[in-house]
Amino acid sequence: MSAAIGNEAGNGMESNWVKARSSIVWIAAVCIAFGAVWWIERESGRELIARQATAPRPAAARQALPASPDLPGAPTPRPLTAQEQQWARLAWTYFERNTDPGTGLVAAVEGLPSASLWDTASFLLALLAARDLELVDGRSFDARLAAALASLGRMPLYDGALPNKSYDVHSLAMTDDRRRPDGAGTGWSAIDVARLLVPLNVIAWRHPQHTAAARRVIARWNLARLAREGQLQRLQAGEGGPPQPVQEGRLGYEQYAARALALAALDVDVAADPLAHLKLVDIEGVGVPVDAREPERDGVQNPVVSEPWILDGLEFGWSRHGRELGWRVYRAQEERFRRTGVKTAVTEDHVDQAPYFVYNSIYSGGRRWEAVSGKGEVLPQLRTLSTKAAFGWYALLRTPYATQLVAAVAPLNDPARGWYAGAYEAGGQPNRSVNANTNAVVLESLAYIARGPVLQFR
């Protein structure tokens, strides 16, 4: 009986211990689960916050894009007039004067030693246009292109992965934002690399004698690092800290770059969607496409300029949305002229005084018709009529106003050096910056008149 009582007591104690142990395990599991949630939120919170700023809006919240009733179709290619041929020869003068004989590369601005990847793409597109317009013969074209591709194939890469933002065109050394040699580099731009892919694709398809060299250039690059979750990614070297990957691009530039990166099979579907962050702002009675990610909230400038829409049309040929959005950007400029009498063709441009590069914008951070620096500083004295914007709209649209624009900028050149960037609205004095981008877009525009978009796979 005593043994039975002892066994019963022992069994009771064991049963209580099992119950207690089960409770302890359940409490521990709950604590671990809450701990895991806290850890995940702590580790991913910053990333989630950052993504909220650039995530596309739900379809129900997107801005509708009604079709403009006066939207023109694509013009038919035609031979250049004698005047247009002269304009093209003048633009090619810049590249003849500013090509480094050792590397075959071209400086971004006359008299300066460096060029960004964007500038280098402009040079290659100018060379392709010059060949199409018979400004250079086959032998000269092949020699120039072979030298440039060889240099691109041996440039040091940032982090061993992708081209640095800019290089010295004489030594091929990486340079910093002030054009000084920088052995470490400053990071890369997905938009600039994407622009360089445009001429490299043209070369590979249309000039088979250079296909292998173009492929060798691209084969060195880790292109997968340019995109994440459908968006463009740049790598920005921090001050005193490690480089940080950040989302890159705003409306216009983002879609232009995405079209090029899609050719490399990258997932850039979010960046490619022009409706993801679109809002239409009434400017001069036109619903102008503006990026809804405003700088006061997201910390990135959102200037509306002509250039990305012009390049998209000249190089790829406009998509349905691209044509509509580009037309709206153009029409606001035409309507400003009708209201004020001031010839208006605005875009990003080099200028011949500090800060030496500005965004002449239709809209930027809530302001209209302002010239702003890359940091958003308003510089009204630097508002200009842009030579390259005038030529771009002239080539793509052939409207009476676009013809007036080209006539207005036609005197803005030095026959021995090339085209000036434009003229200042205040006083009408020339903006005497002579640079690769202005002269390249003039050549691209005139070549478009003669043969249509450059990126044609045929």
Provide the pLDDT for residue 50.
43
| pTM for the full predicted model | 0.87
> Where do the domains of the chain lie?
75-451
Q: What is the DSSP letter of 59?
A: G
Residue 273 φ then ψ, to 5°: -85, 110
Provide the pLDDT for residue 178.
84
Fold of the domain spanning 75-451: Glycosyltransferase (1.50.10)
Provide the pLDDT for residue 183.
83
Kindly give, in sequence order, each residue whose CB lies less than 8 Å from that of residue 207, ignoring residues fewer than 6 positions away: 145
Residue showing tokens 């080099």: 350
Residue type, position 223, single letter:
L
Peptide bond before 355: cis, by omega within 30 degrees of 0? yes
Residue showing tokens 């006539």: 407
In this structure, the strands spanning 278-283 and 363-364 are unpaired
Secondary structure (3-state) at 352: coil
Provide the pLDDT for residue 15.
44
Across the chain, which has 458 residues, the per-10-residue mean pLDDT values are 37 42 41 36 36 54 88 95 98 98 98 96 98 98 98 97 97 92 91 98 97 98 97 86 90 97 97 96 98 87 96 97 98 98 98 97 96 93 98 98 98 98 97 98 98 85
In this structure, the strands spanning 286-291 and 278-283 are antiparallel
Kindly give, in sequence order, each residue whose CB lies less than 8 Å from that of residue 388, ignoring residues fewer than 6 positions away: 307, 310, 347, 349, 419, 421, 437, 438, 441, 442, 445
